[in-house]
Amino acid sequence: MNPVEVAAVYLHAPFCLRRCFYCDFAVDVHRSPEPEPWWAALEAECGALASEGRVRLAPRLDTVYVGGGTPSLLGPEAMAGVARILGPGRLDHDGVEWTAEANPESFDGGVAAGWRRAGVNRISLGTQSFQENVLRWMGRLHGAEGAEQAVATARREGFASTSVDLIFGLPSTVPRDWGADLDRVLALDVPHLSLYGLTAESGTPLGRAVAEGRTVLADETRYEDEYLEASERLRAEGYEHYEVSNFARPGHRSRHNAVYWSGAPYLGLGNGAHSFLPPERRWNVRDWSVYARTVAGGALAVEAREEVEGSARRLEELWLGLRTDGGIRLAAPEGSGARALAEAWVGAGRARWTPDGRLVLTPAGWLLLDRLVVDLAGRLDDDPRPPSVDPPRPGRRSS
């Protein structure tokens, strides 16, 4: 089998000073992580992948995303090491989108300057709120001013593209003025924003608190109201609500995330990282120590693999297409169950047809994404003609 060529790479930097209350990511709590062991593990994994022969890096990568964890804990030289590991020429060209995540408390001028020198051109800041009581409840280490200072630092060091994350839908027992958080984030005037609804994953302190009845998650009304309020306000201020959780000024959509939504191949390096090498999806073991030990021994640290084909592939394509404002082209005939369902969504304000005939969910529809996709897939299975699903392509610039 020929190796799959990938132009999009994710690298996971798992280290955090402590675990936030709600966090379910593949995190290694560490007081003072150093970049060398992380580089060594990534390099070892690249060596094991080369021996396997199933994937090949494109000579020029289109997108690189360093996420975590807290990559900014690894200091100013962390990204120069990433460039070395990925290989000469792959990142030093104008077309690359290279994003690195940072948390405000560890993103200072030295880190920003070092990352900029290495070639990083986009910063994604984990902010979550601008309210002290909310940040304390979440277990965040930065204060309410943290995001403003971090955005100013990024601007000073020449990052033209910065993204800020906020979490909405907190338990009603946590006093939070969502409108005030939207005011603060709008005042930052960053080109990209991501908004995530709080979920209680089992195994997290929040998940345990919910299971034991000590915390009650936001009711549906609060969750929906905050999401729709944000969408309306951000769109009124010139942001495009281009995917369930993402908003961008024109020309600032995340090209890396677009790869995930398009069904194109991508490679994930590091503990817990996922890769899609069609038709195979695989993911690494989540535990940092197990991962590092395994790759140091020359083996891949893959925890599981699955082939995404047939009806599973079709369901996934529907789900990926409908989560963006690219939508899907629904080639179901007039009078079919699928088309009737789509028309019902349009009538209920959950979807719209674009002038060129694509079906796109509205923010009200995105609140029900999973259910709508399952309903539509069920109707399509009943239709004699299969749909033509044509999600947006990777690497597309929206300017």
Task: Provide the binding-site residues for ligand SF4, judged by CB under 6 A.
Answer: 16, 19-20, 23, 25, 27, 68-70, 103, 126
Taking the least distance from each CB to ligand SF4, the nearer of 61 and 135 is 135
Long-range contacts made by residues 381-385, C-beta under 8 angstroms, separation at least 24? Answer: 381/311, 382/337, 382/338, 383/332, 383/333, 383/336, 383/337, 383/338, 385/331, 385/332, 385/333, 385/336
Taking the least distance from each CB to ligand SF4, the nearer of 24 and 77 is 24
Question: What's the CA gap between 234 and 249, in Å, rounded?
Answer: 10
Structure tokens, 122 = 């986009």
The distance of closest approach from Cβ of residue 167 to ligand SF4 in the complex, given in angstroms and rounded to an integer, is 9
Taking the least distance from each CB to ligand SF4, the nearer of 123 and 367 is 123
Given a contact cutoff of 8 angstroms between Cβ atoms, the answer to whether 327 and 359 are in contact is: yes
The distance of closest approach from Cβ of residue 101 to ligand SF4 in the complex, given in angstroms and rounded to an integer, is 8
Helix (H) or strand (E) holding 190: none
Taking the least distance from each CB to ligand SF4, the nearer of 147 and 361 is 147
Taking the least distance from each CB to ligand SF4, the nearer of 84 and 208 is 208
CB atoms within 10 A of CB 79: 26
Burial of 388 from C-beta contacts in 10 A (0-12 / 13-18 / 19+): exposed
Burial of 139 from C-beta contacts in 10 A (0-12 / 13-18 / 19+): middle
The distance of closest approach from Cβ of residue 16 to ligand SF4 in the complex, given in angstroms and rounded to an integer, is 3
Taking the least distance from each CB to ligand SF4, the nearer of 33 and 394 is 33
Question: What's the CA gap between 64 and 122, in Å, rounded?
Answer: 10
Taking the least distance from each CB to ligand SF4, the nearer of 126 and 263 is 126
Structure tokens, 240 = 């495009």
The distance of closest approach from Cβ of residue 68 to ligand SF4 in the complex, given in angstroms and rounded to an integer, is 5
Taking the least distance from each CB to ligand SF4, the nearer of 142 and 323 is 142
The distance of closest approach from Cβ of residue 240 to ligand SF4 in the complex, given in angstroms and rounded to an integer, is 26
Burial of 173 from C-beta contacts in 10 A (0-12 / 13-18 / 19+): exposed
Question: What's the CA gap between 28 and 293, in Å, rounded?
Answer: 14
Q: Phi/psi at 374 (nearest 5 deg)? A: -65, -40
The distance of closest approach from Cβ of residue 72 to ligand SF4 in the complex, given in angstroms and rounded to an integer, is 10
Taking the least distance from each CB to ligand SF4, the nearer of 19 and 56 is 19
Question: What's the CA gap between 1 and 213, in Å, rounded?
Answer: 52
The distance of closest approach from Cβ of residue 284 to ligand SF4 in the complex, given in angstroms and rounded to an integer, is 16
Q: Phi/psi at 231 (nearest 5 deg)? A: -60, -45
Taking the least distance from each CB to ligand SF4, the nearer of 133 and 311 is 133
Range list of H helices, 237-268:
255-262
The distance of closest approach from Cβ of residue 204 to ligand SF4 in the complex, given in angstroms and rounded to an integer, is 9
Structure tokens, 321 = 């297409």
Find, among 3, 54, 16, 7, the residue nearest to 288 by Cα: 16
The distance of closest approach from Cβ of residue 333 to ligand SF4 in the complex, given in angstroms and rounded to an integer, is 47
The distance of closest approach from Cβ of residue 15 to ligand SF4 in the complex, given in angstroms and rounded to an integer, is 8
